[in-house]
Structure formats: C-alpha cells, structure tokens
Amino acid sequence: MFSYSVNSLIVFYEVVKAGSFSRAANVLFMTQPGVSNHVAQLEAQTRSRLLKREKGKFQLTKEGRIIYKYAEKIEKMTRELENAIRNIQKDVKPLLKIGTTPVYSRIVMPYILGSFQKANPNIMIKLDVGSSDDMVKTVVSMQNDVVIIANPKTSKKLYAFPLVKEELVLITSNGHPLSKKESVSLKEIGDYPLIIREEGSSTRKVVLSAFELMHITPSALFEVKSTEFIKEWVSQGKGISVLVKRAVLDEERKSLKVIPLKEPLSLDVSVVFLKSKKYDASIQKFADHMRENKLRSFFQ
C-alpha cells in the first residue's frame, strides 16, 4: 500500500527544481522550516538520504535522483488532475436544495429565489414543500440543505437564525357573523366550525395550543393540507380559519374578511440548516442573502 505523502513528494520536486529550500518555500507559499520538514519526512519514509548538503547547497544522491523522477511525474499528474477538476466544475453547477411551507412557496419564495438567482446565477435551485415538521426532518436527513420554516425546534444538530415574525389572523367569509368585527377573541372563534392545517403545521400547533391554554374547545375541527382549499372553503361560508396574514392576498380579500385577534398569535420564521454544513459555500451565500437589509424590507 502506498504510504508516502503526495505533498512531501511535490515539495521535494519543487526544492530540486528551484535549487533552493527558500525559493521552493516562496513558490509553495510555505515557510522554509515547513519545506525542510517535508523533505526530512520523505527521507525518513524512504530510509534514504535524498540530498547531499554542503555549505548551503545540495546535490541529489543516487536515491534522490530515483525519487525525483517519480516526484516529477506525480507533480505533472497533479496539475493535470487540477485542470480536469476545474473543467468539470465549469460544466457542473452546484445544487442548493431548499425547503419551505406551502404558504411561503407560493407567496414568498418566488421573490427570494428570484433575487438570489440573479445574484448567484451559477447555483441551481431545487424547491421542496411541506409542513414545518416535515421540512426539519429533510434537513436532518440531508434531503434538503436549508429550509425556511416557522417555530423550529431547538436541536444540537441545527443552526437557525430568525427571519421574520408572522402575524396570525382570523379569516371569514364576508357574510359571516364575525366579519363585521374589528377584532375577535379566541372565545368567539370557538363557537364556529374551525378548519385548520394538517399535523406538523406550525400554525396548527400555535392555534390549538392557544385554545388549550384558554380551555376552549372548537365546535368542530376540519383538518386540511392545502391552504388554498381552506381559503376557498371559508369564502363559501362553510367555516372559519386562522392563518398567517401574509397568506391572504389582496385579490382574495374581496371574498374573505381578515380580522385581527385580541389575543395576538404569531409564528417566528427562521432559516435553518445543519451546523455541520455551516461553511458550505452555497448555504453561506443563501444565508447571507437572507440577512440582507433589502431582502428584509420585503417582510415589512
């Protein structure tokens, strides 16, 4: 099995080529003691004296000439390999896998990804969508590189930084009894059929936790994965719901009434990725992009 250090062989090659330890150190961006250590290590591994040193100069020994021929070939192959890798990297764009919730995929991500790709055209994007809980699992399993989700659970494996606080509001049809109110309490909401997101949704957790804390039991609960279905169902007067305010677009307010809650509820949205990937170039670029002031103004 090959046990000699490729780095030591290349250092040895540069020393012989330059005819000087100090000049080789300059070429390799190393210290002179560092160069000397590599040559000494190679001599120890080969159990041979490779250089005959006299008055600050050196000559190759018989063994040194043999090793130098192979070191020269290895140095050439290393340069060829580096060139081949550069050519491969020119043709292959890095892929950044991003996950988020259904609401953000429709309303927020087109803006975020549009501005990010404009600034980083060499990075390909793959977008995944699911509940907050599901998206956290995809980060841990490395199916996604980074996710934008609400109320992430703390974990030693995960790094998260806050992005925005999203207000939760009640939505009703225009003809609903609560539609004329300027604000409503959770107790009032409990008197009407409530449609909520599926298990794993952060909105669902916050709403049901608030009801439980106030000892309120909704008259009926309907569970649905699609936020769009919820809004359509509510607009037909078949129930009410609590959603992120941002989820209700301007054109949808013609058929939906958005009402603030007297007991404020909100979601803390964060950008989350594995701590072990903190220094991944693509993730760092995306994280830096999300921290930019001009991007944060979008969330005001």
Question: Domains of the chain (ranges plus CATH)?
Answer: 6-91 (1.10.10.10), 95-163+269-299 (3.40.190.10), 165-266 (3.40.190.10)
**pTM summary value:** 0.67
d(CA 100, CA 241): 21
Residue 121 in contact with residue 167, Cβ under 8 Å?
Answer: no
Hey, CA dihedral for 91, 94, 100, 105, is it positive or negative? Answer: negative
DSSP per position, 217-248? --S-EEEES-HHHHHHHHHTTS-BEEEEGGGS
DSSP per position, 96-152? EEEEE-HHHHHHTHHHHHHHHHHH-TT-EEEEEE--HHHHHHHHHTTS-SEEEEESP
pLDDT in tens, the chain (300 residues): 345 688 899 999 999 999 999 998 888 888 899 999 999 999 998 899 999 988 778 899 999 999 999 999 998 998 888 888 777 766 667 899 999 999 999 989 999 999 999 999 989 999 999 999 999 999 999 999 999 999 988 788 899 989 999 999 999 999 999 999 999 999 999 889 999 988 889 999 999 999 999 998 888 788 888 899 999 999 999 999 999 999 998 888 899 999 999 999 999 999 999 998 888 889 999 999 988 855 666 666
Long-range contacts from 224-231, C-beta under 8 angstroms, 24+ separation: 224/195, 224/196, 224/197, 224/198, 225/102, 225/197, 225/198, 226/102, 227/102, 227/103, 227/106, 227/197, 230/195, 230/197, 231/171, 231/256
